Structure 1
């Protein structure tokens, strides 16, 4: 059976030899370098214990240094599966998603025709190259000079020029006795709709030859010289030689550069690729004016495990990046992914290199983001998640994306990465102190004191400790009975909270108190974690507070909150008077200063002891202890009753 030309090349480009061989061997991980496609294993063709069987995944060949077996993916399947040549191709084609061609008695004729078409394309390359050096190409040369393309660069990429003539290339090819059907078959000319001679496809354009993996010119890309032209860039139409969805510009040279360890960079256009190559990034390719296809993605992964997608830093570039992500998610495999280097807004790789040099681009390539980071950024960019419904919508969108991943292991790792990013978004302070994995073990955060510790009761003293105790009681009372918050809203808004956690609780209470106790507690748990409430309630001075012991009792809550606010206000008043008095003493001191301090101190003591005139509920005992007045009266009544019931009384 004859196979159509190019079928085997396509099959080899879409087949990973290491995957084919990996089904039959166990790789030696110490000796192999998967990133470079350099794999070693015990030979499957003879008995051995050492890893002498070598697979060069980039070149697509294997060799055993023991038994000297060698070949490619086709020969490996033939030997290991004991099948004929065509059957081995059929097996590999099924795995690569390619349809086996039917028997075609005209296959040799087709092969001859493709060879003829390729020869015509080479004639066109030379014609365009010569035209660039003529007087007609002076404008094109000036443009290339302004873009910084030296003559050596033009020669390297075989850049040419199509003059502004209707039949310039057609007449040249006819003078070389090229048949009409071959010119039209190459896509170099189009039939006239008016019955005249066919006319050239490319006119007044800078020409970029597009070559396949074997180095044959299969198409052209033309850049318009007329700024008013409807198509700035124009590719050859699809032909027997050219399928743009299966072609990458500069693929052959990029394969060689990637094999030497250079990062594979995927840009958007010809000029970007040329600028990258001239800047030292030899493994640069570009799709041909369309979105990246699955075949092109597989071609990239043949060259590198993690191609770097370098797109323009504008809205269109971001949209293109997310289209690539949607395409890649179902195709991800262990070790095969993408990274994204987003250019500064309004610039492409060519602009960046010319403006800031190759070091600027190298920095972006080194800092390229993993795919999961860009996926996450797309879902949260410019959005607010201040309600449970919005957070649920975020979770659903991300779950739908992750479900596209077919590989269960990668899907699990993506899920964990999303959880980590979600934690950082909704718990920024706590996430900064989360344990970190170092050397395979989870390590605690640095031992530096956190803000909450610095302001906690462990290090607070005197009045500051008292303030924290009082704010804790106020906040716990409001959480237990949020319906009273409105009455104290103004005072709560100005409440000074030395403890950062108290400050966050205060803000959440003010925002969600009117929704009821359950909703308030839910919001606090989502924002700060359930342990934040448990930690607050566990403090002894809070646990003993009447509103906490009797949640929902508005009367007790009002009384407690009002009392604690009064104490705080009295403390503030005393501190203010002391500060002002200190300033006055520096000047002229008189009895007025002493009187003011005395009044402030008495007000503070009354607030602390709750002895506000006849409203006080407590008396002081002989030892200074506070005694509940009602309980004291009941005790005396009981004593009187016991005494009066004794005999003889």
Structure 2
């Protein structure tokens, strides 16, 4: 259903955006606007603004901009229609019904949900009855407390053929409605009877928070099915829902959450175990393989969902099935990660046997989707002859071709190519500005006299003593990552400059650019991500606009960008540090340049770091 612009504008007119945003961001009035710390990036100086008159927010730290609808979509992972439903309720409006029949169907579904809630209230009361003593003992044996049962709405379905039916019919429920919502089973011959009997009952809510189904865990060993879910109904579609999703989505949006994104476990009790271990963002697909609709729910909650699976062959098979299902739908910022429990254990077992810390550590030790797929293909058959290697390459190409998003497809292709080169080796070749030996660039270690003059005048006015470089320093590094062709021209200068806490990133850039000819920006970034520099790259992201303006942009020639980089470098060095450090750095650089030995660049870099560390400890 599409909403008209008039209706959307009416919603915006009836609510105050600062009220909506102020529930999760501490705002302070500043003139006609409200200001606060960015909810999207860590900062000390407020750069996030909300304007009630213009009905928008803007974050200068991240560049994010939007209205009340996009705020709920961004912060709570709601779809547009879910956000519209939430905001229309706050505005005192009802979403327009497209036609009278649709309104009737909506009202009927609402009545079915109400009977599900009535049934749930009955199950909750039943758990407190003497007949549920064995159910209570079972729950205690699994480590659940009364508080856990209340939080997750756990109840008990009595062991009687028509106990629930009699209760609801007495309350006025039509038999047809109870059959339609899956509470009763209608046999071919005979009277309808209760679907759930002598079972622990777990309520299942849809993404909007409506109670639409149940999962029942059998207490009798003679039960045909250990777990029994509600059937497909007009309000319950198992493949498009996740157990505990509404609560988990809210937990995942908490900036203090340890694991970012949802955690997908296999069963109800695993989800509850995660919550007891302090991770309230657990969900479960109710005994089925993950579906496309469920993947979209996971990604809607933000972050990178973690598939928490048993470490046995069945768990690995489930992980690979999820990976294959996700592959065509990958987009930047939308992927999966995988955490495997020890063989023979699920999260509930780990929590009871080893404690919450052990479970948390297992969930922090995740595997990427690309790693999982790579290992499967490598283990498929021995790659000992050309035919098998050719088959392996064909399978890898087929996987990459499933990815619809062009940028993600390119990154996966580059990553798999890099791994195949590392596995099978590459012949000696030439390319770019430098010579190639054994597949690696031979860096020119001898610095020229012109370099000495250039760097001498710059270093005479600079100090490298800083934890995180200033914006100009960050722009210098970001330029090398976005335009790797600069590295060939500037390699000695790059090695001479210290970027404080980002020196390791600088070294990784130099190293990665020596791995092959004509390294592209996407290849370089993929390499840096694989080496654990995700946080550093994120730290540089806010400098992309100023960097491009300073360097000249992608359309500028290499010589123009090199000249601009050197000018920016001079400014950066003039802005830094103490005179004593400047003199030491200059003397050290001149000595190493004059020596002109084969290790000069690396020696200078190491000496810089030693001198910086010594100065910081004084």
Aligned mate of 1:138, from 133, 140, 143: 133
- Please list, as runs of the form range in 1=range in 2, the aligned pairs for 1:208-607 lying within 5 A after superposition: 208-261=202-255, 262=257, 263=260, 264-381=262-379, 383-426=381-424, 438-440=504-506, 441-444=508-511
Please give the root-mean-square deviation of Cα atoms over the aligned residues, in Å. Answer: 3.9
Aligned mate of 1:59, from 48, 56, 72: 72
Distance in 2 separating the partners of 1:188 and 1:176: 15
Contact 1:308/1:341 (<8 A) preserved = yes
Contact 2:277/2:360 (<8 A) preserved = no
Change in CA separation of 1:364 and 1:241 when aligned onto 2, cut-off 3 Å: same
TM, length-normalised to structure 1? 0.54
Aligned mate of 1:205, from 196, 199, 202: 199
C-alpha displacement at 1:240, in angstroms?
1.6
Is 1:166 aligned with 2:166? no
Listed one character per residue, the Cα deviations across residues 139-165 of structure 1 (whole Å, up to 9, x for unaligned) are 111111110001110111111111221
Q: Which residue of 1 is the match for residue 500 of structure 2?
A: none
- For structure 2, the residue ranges without an aligned partner over 5 or more in a row are 9-36, 85-94, 429-437, 444-480, 482-503, 513-618
C-alpha displacement at 1:396, in angstroms?
0.9
Contact 1:33/1:39 (<8 A) preserved = no
Name the SS for the 2:72 alignment partner: coil
Change in CA separation of 1:329 and 1:47 when aligned onto 2, cut-off 3 Å: closer
Change in CA separation of 1:360 and 1:155 when aligned onto 2, cut-off 3 Å: same
Q: Which residue of 2 is the match for residue 33 of structure 1?
A: 40
C-alpha displacement at 1:119, in angstroms?
1.3
Contact 2:310/2:340 (<8 A) preserved = yes
C-alpha displacement at 1:283, in angstroms?
0.8
Q: Which has the higher contact order (CA 8 A, sep 6+)?
A: 2
C-alpha displacement at 1:48, in angstroms?
11
Contact 2:182/2:195 (<8 A) preserved = yes
Largest Rg, 1 or 2: 1
Distance in 2 separating the partners of 1:169 and 1:312: 36
Change in CA separation of 1:439 and 1:209 when aligned onto 2, cut-off 3 Å: same
Contact 1:310/1:342 (<8 A) preserved = yes
C-alpha displacement at 1:173, in angstroms?
0.8
- For structure 1, the residue ranges without an aligned partner over 5 or more in a row are 9-29, 63-70, 78-87, 90-100, 446-649
C-alpha displacement at 1:61, in angstroms?
7.2
C-alpha displacement at 1:58, in angstroms?
6.5
Aligned mate of 2:112, from 109, 117, 124: 117
Listed one character per residue, the Cα deviations across residues 45-75 of structure 1 (whole Å, up to 9, x for unaligned) are 999997694468572279xxxxxxxx99579
Distance in 2 separating the partners of 1:76 and 1:228: 46
Name the SS for the 1:124 alignment partner: helix
Contact 1:170/1:199 (<8 A) preserved = yes
The number of aligned residues is 386
Distance in 2 separating the partners of 1:152 and 1:105: 44
- Please list, as runs of the form range in 1=range in 2, the aligned pairs for 1:148-167 lying within 5 A after superposition: 148-167=143-162
Distance in 1 separating the partners of 2:364 and 2:100: 53
Distance in 1 separating the partners of 2:323 and 2:41: 23
Q: Which residue of 2 is the match for residue 514 of structure 1?
A: none
C-alpha displacement at 1:236, in angstroms?
0.4
TM, length-normalised to structure 2? 0.56
Distance in 1 separating the partners of 2:47 and 2:248: 21
Detail structure 1 runs of 4+ shifted over 4 Å in the superposition: 38-52, 54-58, 71-77, 432-438
Contact 1:210/1:218 (<8 A) preserved = yes
C-alpha displacement at 1:76, in angstroms?
12
